[in-house]
Homo-oligomer: A and B are copies of this chain.
Amino acid sequence: MFLDMKLDKDTPVYIQIKDYIKDMILSGMLRQNEKLPSTRELSSILNVSRNTVVYAYEFLQDEGFIYMKKGTGAFVSDINISFEEEWNIDWNTRINDYGKNAESLDIVKHEVEWKKGMISFKSIAPDERLFDVDEFKRAFLNRVSIEGDKILNYGYAKGYRPLIQYLLKYMKNKGIQIDGKDLLITNGFTEGFDLVLSCLTEKGDSIICENPTHNTAIKIMRLHGLKIKGIDLSRDGIDLNKLKEELTKEEFKLSYFIPSYHNPTALVMSAEKRVELYRILKSHNIPIIEDGFNEELRYSGTHVSPIAALSGKGNSVVYIGSFSKILFPGIRVGWILADKKLIDYLESIKRSRNIHTSFLDQAIFCEYLQGGNFEKYIKKARKVYKEKYEFALECAKKYIPCKEIMGEGGLHIFIKLEGVEARKVLEKCCERGVIFTPGDIFYIDGRGDDTLRLGFSRVDMEEIEKGFKIIGEVVKLLRI
């Protein structure tokens, strides 16, 4: 004993000694009332300072593993360890339908995995090489020096007040009237959407949305047991005639739309269509959940107001926002802007789920935003992504034979092939080191097997060209 102890460099030595002895006690190698080596002995065995051993023994005493006898030394406490008969539960039989569905709808677990050296068009996360980490660091140091202790303690479910204020103003700058509305900070869009459905729907309710649509939204709607009706898209957004038709057939509790650089098609719903859509849903009194996805990533054309701006003081649109596709998704900060009364309920649900979103992250992010860093960053990011977007579009036209290429901005394009299955293309491409997202996962009704989404945000120009070429070659090969 003790002689076999190997010290590593990464952990303080007193912790290693403490953990080693604990381990000996817990495993029964050191028994109740057994005497430990004196601090002098152990320090010489381990070739460490005596103080280090004294410190380790103090911790062991603090934690109730050993006791000291004056003038005699350290002894192992009666730690009451008892090994009971092993008891195993077959967890597979205990998981409910919700748990099973969550697992089977979890595409991260079931789609092809990226392997080193591959060119991946799967991601639509921002390119972290664009992040201005130094500004973020500065924001951290500023905020922490002002109120480090406070933001590391419990905060409020609704969010960090200065961030709420900042975002309310941000939303106002999009033309949204904020009187009578309020804002809840969430762990990204995903939590925002989940909270809204948790508060407003029951199993078996119907919801209407675009088809195809954001895969995570489909997953969450399915997990809430909703019946999903998807409406086809044309180049300027949802097909309004089909929408009207469906609305007469069935009662819908809610509607969900991604008007800007839609996921997966990257199409933009025109201003006229937004108005029309608003009027139609108003006439049926079906609240709109507007996904603010990618709104910041317009590269050309005039400003188009979010649907939430159309209603003035009206409260019928629930806007869910997030910067995660642009900036710092790792900190998971998003928001819901909605009617005050609704936010009040959502706040209670949020509190029951996880108390609040990290106050540290909210405070740093707020400091970062208030300093004007977001504006500077988005200017830079837009430039880089615009270039990539245009290049990707060009390469797609040049190399990938297809029926249609969609995409007017954002971080991805969407391709409709002709007479070829995207999953077969993926299989062959995968062998050649290129992967992408097959489009069928965005469809509600099992269609889309001839579509694919190509995310280019984290891929270099050179690799975009190389990767698209390979995809094109495979498509040609399979068409014959």
Contacts and interface: CB of A to CB of B under 8 A. Distances in A.
Contacts of A371: 12
Contacts of A287: 89, 94
Given A89-B316, A187-B355, A133 B148 contact: yes
Interface in A312-367: 312-316, 324, 328-332, 339, 341-342, 344-346, 348-349, 351-361
A227 interface: no
Interface stretch (A192-200, A396-404, A459-467): A192-200
B80 A304 contact: yes
B311 A87 contact: yes
Nearest to A63: B303
A83 B311 CA distance: 6
Contact of A341 (B92, B199, B275): B92
A97 B364 CA distance: 36
B199 A98 contact: yes
Contacts of A133: 144, 148-149, 152
A359 B339 contact: no
Given A137-B141, A331-B359, A95 B352 contact: no
Contacts of A351: 102, 106, 108
Interface stretch (A15-23, A430-438, A448-456): A15-23
Contact of A82 (B58, B59, B63, B275): B275
A11 interface: yes
A140 B198 CA distance: 35
A148 B131 contact: yes
Given A84-B275, A352-B102, A379-B59, A329 B153 contact: yes
A128 B150 CA distance: 7
B187 A187 contact: yes
Contacts of A85: 282, 314
B379 A310 contact: no
A471 to B, nearest CB: 24
Contacts of A240: none
Given A133-B152, A148-B131, A62 B345 contact: no
Contacts of A99: 198-200, 345-346, 348-349
Interface string A11-42: 11011001100110010000000000000000
Interface in A48-77: 58-59, 62-65, 67, 77
B89 A328 contact: no
Contacts of A44: none
Interface in A270-284: 271-272, 275, 278-279, 282
A188 interface: yes
A305 interface: yes
Nearest to A59: B375
A446 interface: no
Interface string A106-126: 101100000000000000011
Contacts of A96: 199-202
Given A191-B353, A223-B352, A345 B175 contact: no
A100 B198 CA distance: 11
Nearest to A153: B128
Nearest to A219: B352
A43 interface: no
A382 interface: yes
Nearest to A109: B348
Nearest to A166: B11
Given A102-B348, A190-B352, 14 more contacts: A12-B372, A79-B305, A81-B175, A82-B275, A84-B311, A88-B316, A89-B339, A98-B199, A125-B153, A129-B149, A154-B330, A188-B355, A353-B353, A358-B358
Q: 4 closest Cβ contacts across the A-B interface?
A: A80-B271, A64-B303, A12-B372, A187-B354
9 contacts: A22-B173, A81-B175, A89-B285, A99-B348, A187-B353, A187-B357, A194-B353, A330-B360, A332-B355
